[in-house]
Each structure stands twice: as C-alpha cells, then as structure tokens.
C-alpha cells in the first residue's frame, strides 16, 4: 500500500469525524480519557489475573537520560538487559524471565512494533522514543491478547504521549562519559480553539560507546496532531528515526581481552600485506525507519468506546563489512576456490501496513468486555552487494549484487475478552484469541547461488493458532487480593529459525502458562508474590552461538521441551512523604528437558535436563527514593545471578594444544554481578525569567566500578573423553567464547527546562 494513499485515507477519516462532532469546548479530563482508548483493549487492569508492571510518564522521565528503553525497564521484576556498546546506548535488548527478545510482543498504541520476519525490536531504530511515551506496561508470561507477533513470555505495551491541553516548550539535555549526549526539544500547542492540538519532539543522541569504536548516532522526531470533541478523537502521528552504529557484535574472548584490554572490539579488523592491523572505517550499521499511525477513538455514552488505527511502517537499511580471506565462489566472483579480502554491503527494505481495531464495553459496575483484532501485511526485500575486492576479478564491478530474496507475511487476529464480577469481590476473566499467520519466503541463503532463487517459495507455511486464557481474581477486602490464571500461547518460527535450522517447514512453538499471585495494598505499604510455571513444546531456545550478523541462534533440534518456574516478589514502603523503598526479586528454575548435543563423530548424546542459557536463577532489585523540597535522590541496585552461555550445563570448555596436551579451561558463563546507580537532581522554578521549572541533575552509573559482562556467546565442539563422559573442548582455539563487557563507573549530567 502506498504511504501517501494511507495518509489520504487517514485525513479523510479526520475530516469526517470533525464534521460530525459538535463545537463545544472539550473538557481536559475527557481529552486524556479519549487518548487512552487505543490501549484499553490490550492493557491489564487491577482485576486482570496476570503479572505486570506499569511505568508512568513521570517514572520514565526520572531515568530517561539517553539509554534505550530496555534500560529504562531494567529494574522491573525478572528483567535482564544487554548492550553491545556496554553503556546502554546503541544496540540493546531486553529479556524477561530469560525469554529472548524475539519472543516478546511489543506494540505502540496497539500497533505491532516487532520486525515481522525476525520478531526482534531494534530500539536503536526509534531513538529517544521514551521521551514521547505516556506509559509502558510490561506483562510477564503469556499476557493479555494483543496484536502482532506472538507473545511467548512477555508483552510490552507502549502508549505514546497525550496531546496536552496547555502550550509548552521544553528542552532536555544530557552529557557524560564516552562522549555520550542527548538533546531533546519538546513542544506542544495545547488545545487550539478548544478542539485542535499539535505536539512534537526532535532528538539527537550520540555516544562513542564503552567498547572501542562502538559509536552510536541517532536522530529522530515525533509529531502528532489531533482533533477532539466531547466523544471523538482523531489523531495523526508519525515517529521517524535514523541510526548509524559501528559494529560491536563480535564480543571478545577473555584471551583477547587479556592481550588488548577489556574494551577490545574486533569488528572491522583486518591486516595489510605487511601484517599491520587496521580497522575498516565503514564497518557500520545504518537504518532509517518511518512510522505512521492514524487513530480514531470514539466514546459512546458512558459505557461504550471504540478504536480504529491505520498504520504504515517503512524501513530501509544496510550494513557494510570487511571480510578477510573469503572464498570468492560464495560471492559469485570465481568459478574455482580462491580466497582473498573484500568488502560487502547487506541491504534490506521493509513495508508493514495494516489496521487494528477494538470495541469496548464497561457497565461501570461488574462487567467489562472487548472485541478486537487486526490485520497486518509485510513485504521485505533482502539483497547483498560486493563493494570492493582486494584481487581483481573479471565479474566484479562496484555494487555487484550476489544474492536477492523477498519475504511476504500476513497476520490476522481476532480476540474477545470479558471480565465479570459475578459475586462480591470475585471476578472471572476470559480471553480468547484466534490468530492466522501466512509466511512466504524465497530462498533466504545470503550467499551466491547459480540459479534463480526468486522462483517459488523456499518456505510456504500457514499457521492457525487458538490462544485461550482464563483466570480468576478474588478481592478479599480493600487491602488483599488473590488471583490465578492459565493461558496457552503459540509462536510462529522467525526468519532466523528457518535460516539457522535449514528446514523448509518448521513447527510452531507452544506455551502453557500458569500464574498464581497475591497482593496487599495500603497507602504506606504494598507487597505481592507471583508464582509461575511456563511449559514449552517445540521451543526454539538460544544455543549460545552467534550467526553471521551477531544475532543469537535458536534451535529446537532436540525435543524442544523445556520449562521455566519461579516466584516473583515485590514490595514498596513509604513511611513518610519524603522517602520510599521499593524492592523486587525473582527466584527461578529454567530447564531444557533431555538436551542433546552432536559429538565430533556425528553421533548424538543426551545430557539430560540442563539449565537454559541466559536465564539467571536469581535477580534482585532495590530502589531507595528521597524527595525533599525539590531535591530528589535515588539509589538503584541490581543483582543478577550466574547465566550459562549454552544449554549444556558446562561452565567451561577445555582447550587443548595441537599435540593433544591440555592447555586451559575457558569460561562459558556470565558471572553473577552487583551494580548500583545513584541519581541526584534538584527541581526549582524561575518565574521571573519566564521559566515554568528547571531540573538539574547527575546520574552516577556503576558507582562501585563492578567489572561484569552483560552478554556473551559460546560455540565449542563436543566429544567423549577417555572415561566416556561428554566434554566441551576446542583444539588450539581460545576464541570460542565471547563476552560483552559493561562499562565501569561512568556518569551523565542532565538539564531539563520547561517554558
């Protein structure tokens, strides 16, 4: 669908709604109520029997100084984060209960954000989106029914900023370690003529990164305009981002770090004919993403509301890479084996468009119901070009194309939700979703093949899912409530699953999720406990290996059966107005059942039940907050337990010399770590200078200078030793485990001014 046609349709909707509405001034509370309708159908509420955390705009602003959204969510229960550059700016990701990012559903205003093929969300493509978010809700487990990618462990639901009723101009600026900086200009007209509003943001974020050359350059904007009447809101919004990041996805082995330092980054490294080391200056990832949404929210009296949202997302990007000693046959440059250096560019162009909608009923007493769904269509092109060759070949010319393929994906879902208080304090919840996914993919191999790969489909799969969810909530009294739920969720394979497993037709994953919880609420103290058990069939679990572009490989070569069970604890205490203490902890077991490895001789051996990679057994967060007469201080601490890099339960692999003698053990796990940040700020007004308020502050990250790794990979070989036991090993290779180090002590100063 042409993006201009989509915007014309949206403008037509706006004009129609404006003509039909009355011309009375709109109440400000009504304005905010209207803007929240688009997330009503996908949000969990106080009576929803599931585990979730909601961050308000105020809470987001208190930590939003340049780091990406995963780091803003890092202190919520069961969350771990990763950062290629080491300081939370650039390529970052989030895991929830150990679930990898491609299994987490993410939406903005109910619109799918996950890449339709990889299911990943690259927050780097939407720089500083957090500055334009009204609230974020992270649902753990299967969550409530939503649009887009299958929620297979967590759901992140974002609502973009409300158009305010009062005009303003604001400036946020941050600067600190590693040349990191953030500049954000915010503006809003308020309501013009009691019905119209315009609001926006311009942002620039940059950093050289903690790792060598792990630089980030992000530019973005957010712009929205809306019309409001008593019962109607029509809003057009767009957010647009460009990014350029230098590659930092190889990660360094501990041996390399011992030689070159903890900040060593091998990406772009090559040697000239004299053996001198150089770094390719264009070893960068570049992407431009444009998002458009046309939202129509309608209230019908006191009980009914509806939402219809048209959306379109366009993306174009590429990355350049220096490749050393590569076989030119893989690039169509030679008919015989010939190895030399070259540079290549891998490109992609994406189009995603569709509609999401819902109608909601609330009798304001004991019954709520929602009927919703959506239809989305994706078209993605992938191709590769050779930019330069060290040795001249007859077939080469700059921009020579050596592969191209296309993928199509359609996604339709329909769901209904009901919440009914059928006895005093006793509420039943039911959520039923049907989802259809159609996937067509041409041969996805990203190297030269001497045939027309555009004919037919390498993958031609259709999936039909039924995802039911049931639960009950019992409000014992004004302070205490109990809840329990059971949910089934399914997830289709991703593009990487097809590529990495070399299978044309893959099975979908299935999750069964049991949740049981208790919460206590009072003005001064609140606490909760949530028990969960998540059982998986045909699960694609991370293996610890990286693919060629630095993304984690997942496999279900084994039975694909695994489970995650744990308890999540939360508490908050506010004994006085100026002090608050928050804490949460997760204790869990994350197990792959009957994990099998392939030995060097090709035989398969079961290791039995093993720990799942990247899934710590213990996470603890502690937050002290002080507020007194404009002075604010926060002390935020986090402990994350040991994480295996593979699913084998091996802490290390054995490295042998060429003569077969034992050399050393090489670690294959992320060590447990404890990290503390301190945030200090002072808020005051200067009305004599025409300023509404000013906030000055500084955030000190990792104040105890902890040296820890936030991510890693490992890919050893396996064989049986002289006693018949399976061992992980390598021969004369200390590079089969890599680590992504986090920055030691660093800081960011920040300033916020509102006019």
Q: pLDDT, tens digit, for every residue of 601-622?
A: 889 999 999 999 999 999 999 9
Condensed to tens digits (0 to 9), the pLDDT of residues 401-438 reads: 999 999 999 999 999 999 999 999 999 999 999 999 99
The answer, yes or no, to whether residue 590 has pLDDT greater than 90, is: yes
Judging by DSSP bridges, how do beta strands 153-160 and 104-108 pair with one another?
A: parallel
Cα separation of the two ends of the chain:
41
Give the integer Cα–Cα distance in Å for 628 and 299. Answer: 41
Please state, for a pLDDT cut of 70, what percent of the chain lies above it.
94
Structure tokens at 283: 């070893």
Per-residue pLDDT reduced to its tens digit, 722-751: 899 999 999 989 999 999 999 999 999 999
Average pLDDT over residues 133-137: 96
CA distance 541 to 544: 9
* Rounded Cα–Cα distance for residues 493 and 544 (Å): 18
CATH code for the domain of 305: 2.40.170.20
Q: Does the pLDDT value for residue 547 go beyond 90?
A: no
Q: Range of 214's domain?
A: 3-754
- Among 109-118, 557-566, 662-671, which is the least confidently predicted range? 557-566
Q: How far is CA 483 from CA 470, 475, 479, 565, in A?
A: 11, 9, 14, 17
Q: How many domains does the chain have?
A: 1
The predicted structure's pLDDT at residue 149: 84
User: Token pair of 723, please?
Assistant: 């006693």
pLDDT at 557: 54
Three-state helix/strand/coil letters over 467-481: EEEEEEEEECCCCEE
For the segment 507-532, the average pLDDT, to the nearest whole number, is: 96
Torsion region of 22: left, alpha or beta (phi above 0 gives left; psi -120 to 50 gives alpha): beta
Question: Which pLDDT score, from 0 to 100, does residue 31 have?
Answer: 82
Mean pLDDT estimate for the chain:
91
Query: How far is residue 563's CA from residue 534's CA, in Å, rounded to a whole number?
Result: 5
Output the pLDDT for position 555. 64
Place of tokens 């930590």: 63
| Burial (0-12, 13-18, 19+ Cβ within 10 Å), 333 | buried
Q: Give tens-digit pLDDT for 207-216.
A: 999 999 999 9
Predicted TM-score (pTM) of the model is: 0.92
The pairing of beta strand 277-279 with beta strand 269-271:
antiparallel
Q: Checking phi first, is residue 330 left (phi over 0); if not, alpha (psi -120 to 50) or beta?
A: alpha
Taking residues 633-643, report their average pLDDT: 98
Name residue, tokens 């009923």: 361
Predicted confidence (pLDDT) per residue in 654-693, tens digit: 999 999 999 999 999 999 999 999 999 999 998 887 789 9
């Amino acid at each position: 669908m042409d993006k201009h046609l989509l915007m014309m349709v949206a403008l037509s909707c706006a004009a129609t709604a404006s003509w039909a509405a009355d011309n009375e001034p709109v109440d400000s509370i009504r304005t905010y109520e209207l803007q929240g309708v688009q997330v009503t159908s996908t949000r969990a509420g106080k009576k929803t029997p599931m585990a979730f955390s909601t961050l308000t705009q105020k809470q987001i602003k208190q930590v939003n100084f340049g780091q990406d959204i995963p780091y803003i969510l890092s202190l919520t229960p069961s969350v771990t984060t990763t950062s290629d550059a080491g300081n939370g700016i650039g390529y970052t990701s989030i895991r929830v209960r150990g679930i990898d990012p491609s299994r987490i559903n993410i939406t903005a205003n109910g619109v799918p954000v996950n890449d339709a093929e990889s299911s990943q969300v690259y927050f780097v493509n939407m720089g500083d989106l957090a500055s334009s978010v009204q609230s974020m809700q992270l649902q753990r487990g299967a969550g409530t029914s939503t649009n887009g990618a299958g929620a297979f462990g967590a759901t992140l639901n974002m609502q973009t900023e409300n158009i305010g009723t009062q005009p303003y101009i604001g400036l946020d600026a941050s600067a600190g370690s590693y040349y990191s900086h953030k500049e954000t200009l915010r503006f809003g007209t308020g309501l013009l003529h009691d019905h119209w509003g315009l609001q926006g943001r311009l942002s620039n974020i940059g950093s050289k990164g903690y790792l060598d050359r792990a630089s980030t350059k992000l530019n973005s904007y957010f712009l929205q305009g809306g019309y409001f009447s008593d019962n109607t809101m029509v809003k057009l919004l767009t957010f647009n981002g460009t990014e350029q990041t230098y590659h930092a996805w190889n990660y360094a082995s501990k041996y390399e770090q011992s030689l070159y330092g903890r900040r060593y980054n091998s990406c772009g490294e090559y040697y000239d004919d004299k053996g001198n080391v150089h770094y390719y200056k264009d070893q960068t990832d570049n992407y431009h993403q444009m998002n458009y949404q046309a939202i129509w929210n309608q209230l019908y009296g006191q009980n009914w509301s509806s939402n219809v949202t048209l959306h379109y997302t366009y993306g174009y990007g590429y990355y350049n890479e220096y490749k050393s000693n590569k076989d030119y046959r893989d690039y169509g440059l030679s008919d015989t084996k010939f190895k030399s250096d070259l540079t290549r560019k891998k490109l992609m162009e994406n189009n995603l468009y569709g509609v999401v909608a819902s109608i909601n009923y609330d009798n304001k007493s004991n019954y709520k119901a929602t009927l919703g769904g959506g239809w989305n269509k994706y078209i993605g092109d992938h191709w590769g070009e050779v930019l330069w060759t060290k040795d001249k070949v007859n077939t080469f010319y700059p921009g020579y194309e050596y592969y191209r393929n296309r993928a199509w994906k359609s996604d339709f879902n329909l769901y209904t939700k009901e919440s009914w208080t059928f006895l005093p304090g006793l509420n039943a919840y039911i959520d039923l979703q049907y989802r259809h996914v159609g996937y067509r993919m041409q041969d996805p191999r990203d190297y030269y093949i001497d045939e027309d790969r555009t004919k037919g489909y390498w993958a031609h799969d259709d999936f039909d899912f039924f995802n039911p969810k049931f639960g009950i909530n019992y409000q014992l009294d004004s302070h205490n409530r109990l809840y329990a739920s059971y949910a089934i969720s399914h997830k289709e394979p991703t593009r990487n699953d097809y590529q990495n497993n070399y299978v044309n037709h893959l099975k979908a994953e299935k999750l069964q999720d049991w949740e049981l919880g208790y919460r206590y609420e009072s003005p001064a103290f609140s606490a909760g406990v949530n028990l969960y058990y998540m059982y998986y069939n045909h699960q694609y679990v991370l293996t610890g290996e990286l693919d060629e572009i630095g993304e984690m490989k997942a496999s279900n070569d084994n039975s694909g059966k695994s489970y995650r069970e744990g308890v999540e604890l939360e508490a908050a205490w506010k004994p006085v107005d100026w002090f608050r203490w928050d804490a949460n902890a997760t204790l869990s077991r994350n197990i792959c059942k009957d994990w099998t490895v392939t030995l060097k001789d090709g035989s398969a051996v079961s290791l039995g039940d093993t720990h799942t990679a990247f899934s710590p057994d213990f996470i603890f967060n502690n937050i002290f907050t002080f507020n007194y007469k404009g002075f604010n201080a926060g002390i935020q601490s986090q402990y994350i337990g040991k994480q295996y890099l593979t699913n084998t339960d091996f802490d290390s692999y054995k490295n042998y010399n060429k003569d077969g003698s034992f050399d050393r053990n090489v670690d294959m796990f992320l060590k447990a770590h404890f990290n503390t940040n301190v945030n200090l700020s002072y808020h005051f007004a200067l009305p004599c200078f025409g300023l509404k308020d000013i906030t000055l502050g500084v955030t000190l990250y990792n104040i105890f200078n902890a040296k820890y790794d936030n991510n890693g990979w490992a890919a050893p070989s396996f064989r049986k030793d002289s006693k018949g036991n399976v061992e992980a090993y390598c021969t004369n290779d200390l590079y089969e485990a890599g680590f992504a180090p986090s920055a030691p002590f660093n800081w960011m100063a920040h300033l916020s001014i509102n006019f």
